[in-house]
A and B are shown apart, each in its own frame.
Chain A
Amino acid sequence: GAVVSQHPSWVICKSGTSVKIECRSLDFQATTMFWYRQFPKQSLMLMATSNEGSKATYEQGVEKDKFLINHASLTLSTLTVTSAHPEDSSFYICSAIRTSGSPYEQYFGPGTRLTVT
């Protein structure tokens, strides 16, 4: 149990376009989901905390108008990178906390590799 999926697993888009990444908890409900960004050979950096039915909370330095997060249901959160540029190329990973489980354990998705050309 506690499987988190992401779609797509990789995407290539042109500079200036927008791309949406989906994060789904497949076998549990998740009130809270997180979005991370990871550059090659670096650690995970938290971008934002997404709570179902409310606005996301962004970390300092993350542009909320550029990285739009929607958590419309207890099993789905989406991250939209708007007007993407090459510097947005990265590995985006989501995680989810079970609504009914430990408030500590985060279950991670497999990640989405975004390449902006």
Chain B
Amino acid sequence: GENVEQHPSTLSVQEGDSAVIKCTYSDSASNYFPWYKQELGKGPQLIIDIRSNVGEKKDQRIAVTLNKTAKHFSLHITETQPEDSAVYFCAATTAAGNKLTFGGGTRVLVKP
């Protein structure tokens, strides 16, 4: 089955700096890669996603890149703000079962 690894597990950045989180996946058939933000005691919220036919996608301060050959994808947050502090999860899935496999999560702390 699919295996998704996520790094780093924790990330501390100064407000205004950029944050980058990287994930690798094992199943070459995976074709959908969402990123979720989870605040304490809440469910995950989709912040951005990318399909396998696209190499990069951007939404304001958030961007995701995908390298299918290397089987890795990354989340980039620019101009970080304290409200960006949360746990971020990457995930991967194929069309076959719609089952998401999550990475281990990255705890991001943005210091004011």
Contact = CB atoms under 8 A, between A and B. Distances in A.
Interface string B83-112: 000000100010101111111110000000
Interface string B13-50: 00000000000000000001010100001111110010
A87 B71 CA distance: 36
Given A103-B95, A104-B49, A105-B49, A43 B32 contact: no
Interface residues of B, number: 23
Main SS class of interface, A: strand
A42 B9 CA distance: 10
Nearest to A44: B102
A101 B3 CA distance: 26
Contacts of A4: 43
Contact of A111 (B42, B49, B89, B99): B42
Contacts of B103: 43
Interface of A: 4, 6, 32, 34, 42-46, 49, 93, 95, 97, 103-111, 113
